[in-house]
A and B are shown apart, each in its own frame.
Chain A
Amino acid sequence: MADVSHLIDRLSAEGAPARRLPPPVLRLLRWAILSIGLMLLATTWHGVRGDLLLVVTRLDWLAEQGLALVTALLAGFAAISFSVPGRRGWERMIWLPAALFWMLVLWESGHQDAAVQEMPELVHLFCPWCFPVISIGSALFLAADMRRAAPVAPVRMMALLLIAGGGMAVFGERMIHDDLDAPLLVAIQVIAIVMLGAMLAPLGRVLFRWRQGERSGS
């Protein structure tokens, strides 16, 4: 008990104004702006797809892109919510309905256009430049934000961080390339992202850790 009192005295003596984290919605907005900035940067390097003005008139393309972006944003929001102790449970699951709806829309598009879908070769599942730049970049932005918060669920934070980054990359990549539109291809990309998220999730324990402060009496 004396050790606990000593620790409290030490911590309160260290007390300085804390740089309070903004609410999750503002943190999400900041991350979205940074990620979209990164996409614009990739666009200036690669240029937008030639048929952009044509595809934006297609409802199915708009729906798929909208759902990709919404899923990425909601996964990011869920990841941020996990880093704030005591948030409501639904905030952490909110990305799932969007992801499922996205899959449903992809399934429907793929089903209707099965005859005309062209699957690129397996080596072209992702753009080797745009995808890594956007996904890793936006995941790093989110990780930097979350490292300032509380690592109460590091594994789930890591999985959602990767899903959010991957979702952003799928969205950005399709603004740049016109050969990655096949719904089956997008579905494979999404499954690959989710699997990678699940596989790399344990790394969250390394990336998001409680600082090992010096305990009193130890």
Chain B
Amino acid sequence: MTDKDADLGRLLTAAQEGDRAAYGAFLRAAVPLVRAVGRGKLARPADLEDFVQDALLALHQALPTYQPGRPVGPWLGTIARNRLSDALRRTYRRRAVETEFDDGLADTVPQPEADVPPTVNLGPLLSQLPERQRLAIDMLKVQGMSLKEASEASGVSIGALKVAVHRGIAGLRQLLRKDVDHG
């Protein structure tokens, strides 16, 4: 058992006895360890944050199962990996739904043209985006091409186009926000 593990063990034992400060300190010390389990597996920061919160709640529920004197690392690691597998399952399920939606509709149906003229001139903002993102937004959102048509025209895969549009829109949103802040 390492010194760090022994310290965590002492905090956890005190937490089991009702020491709130020790419990808070233990949970704070556990966060980086839990985060390390999820990092690299969960791509979106929001998913990683959800996973960390889930794992903390699980630690709270599993608190009575810790036996004083036993190493904390395997105890904590088992709980974190268990919550990670559930988080990954949720992520895959969500991705499958998103892909199904995109493949079923967005790939085949041309994007409708906007009826309402934009109140903000996006031209200068678009030009600030990287080439690939600008092209993807231009083909899919301005010209109204379907993903299939845009992929054939540009030679870029459908998946890469989706990513480029997603990132491009996020970039535009940031640029717009800056624009508004600066008047």
Interface residues of A in 1-53 (CB under 8 A from B): 1, 3-4, 7-9, 11-21, 23
Residues in B whose Cβ lies below 8 Å from that of A12 = 20-21, 23-24, 27
Name which of B49, B54, B74 has the most chain A CB atoms within 10 A of its CB.
Answer: B49
B128 at the interface (CB under 8 A from A): no
B33 at the interface (CB under 8 A from A): no
State how many angstroms separate the Cβ of A22 from the closest Cβ of chain B: 9
Q: Given the known A-B contacts A4-B52, A8-B27, A8-B28, are A85 and B74 also in contact in the complex, defined by CB atoms under 8 Å? A: yes
Give the distance in Å from the alpha carbon of A15 to the alpha carbon of B16 in the complex: 8
Name which of A1, A8, A23, A149 has the most chain B CB atoms within 10 A of its CB.
Answer: A8
Partner of A16, one of B18, B31, B62: B18
Partner of B75, one of A3, A86, A218: A86
Q: Given the known A-B contacts A16-B18, A20-B16, are A150 and B27 also in contact in the complex, defined by CB atoms under 8 Å? A: no
State how many angstroms separate the Cβ of A99 from the closest Cβ of chain B: 25
Residues in A whose Cβ lies below 8 Å from that of B64 = 18-21, 148-149
B78 engages A85 (CB within 8 Å): yes
B63 at the interface (CB under 8 A from A): yes
B53 engages A3 (CB within 8 Å): yes
**Interface 9-mer from A57-65, A107-115, A179-187, A208-216:** A208-216
B42 at the interface (CB under 8 A from A): no
B119 at the interface (CB under 8 A from A): no
Name which of A7, A23, A210 has the most chain B CB atoms within 10 A of its CB.
Answer: A210
B56 engages A8 (CB within 8 Å): yes
Give the distance in Å from the alpha carbon of A215 to the alpha carbon of B56 in the complex: 10
Interface string of B137-149 (1 = CB under 8 A from A): 0000000000000
B56 engages A86 (CB within 8 Å): no
Interface residues of B in 107-127 (CB under 8 A from A): none
Residues in A whose Cβ lies below 8 Å from that of B61 = 150, 210-211, 213
Give the distance in Å from the alpha carbon of A148 to the alpha carbon of B65 in the complex: 9
Partner of A4, one of B18, B23, B56: B56
Give the distance in Å from the alpha carbon of A11 to the alpha carbon of B79 in the complex: 17
Residues in A whose Cβ lies below 8 Å from that of B70 = 86
Partner of B53, one of A14, A152, A216: A216
Residues in A whose Cβ lies below 8 Å from that of B16 = 17-18, 20
Interface residues of B in 19-57 (CB under 8 A from A): 19-21, 23-24, 27-28, 31, 49-50, 52-54, 56-57
State how many angstroms separate the Cβ of B94 from the closest Cβ of chain A: 15
Residues in B whose Cβ lies below 8 Å from that of A16 = 18
Partner of B79, one of A9, A14, A85, A148: A85
A201 at the interface (CB under 8 A from B): no
B23 engages A150 (CB within 8 Å): no
B58 at the interface (CB under 8 A from A): yes
The chain A residue with its CB closest to the CB of B30 is: A8
Give the distance in Å from the alpha carbon of A1 to the alpha carbon of B48 in the complex: 11
The chain A residue with its CB closest to the CB of B53 is: A215
A8 engages B79 (CB within 8 Å): no
State how many angstroms separate the Cβ of A76 from the closest Cβ of chain B: 17
Report which B residues bind A (CB closer than 8 A): 15-21, 23-24, 27-28, 31, 49-50, 52-54, 56-58, 60-67, 70-71, 73-79, 82-83
Q: Known A-B contacts: A4-B31, A15-B18, A17-B18. Give 7 more (CB < 8 A).
A: A12-B20, A18-B17, A19-B64, A21-B64, A85-B78, A86-B71, A152-B79
The 9 tightest CB contacts between A and B, nearest first, are A86-B74, A12-B24, A86-B75, A85-B78, A17-B18, A150-B62, A15-B23, A15-B20, A213-B57
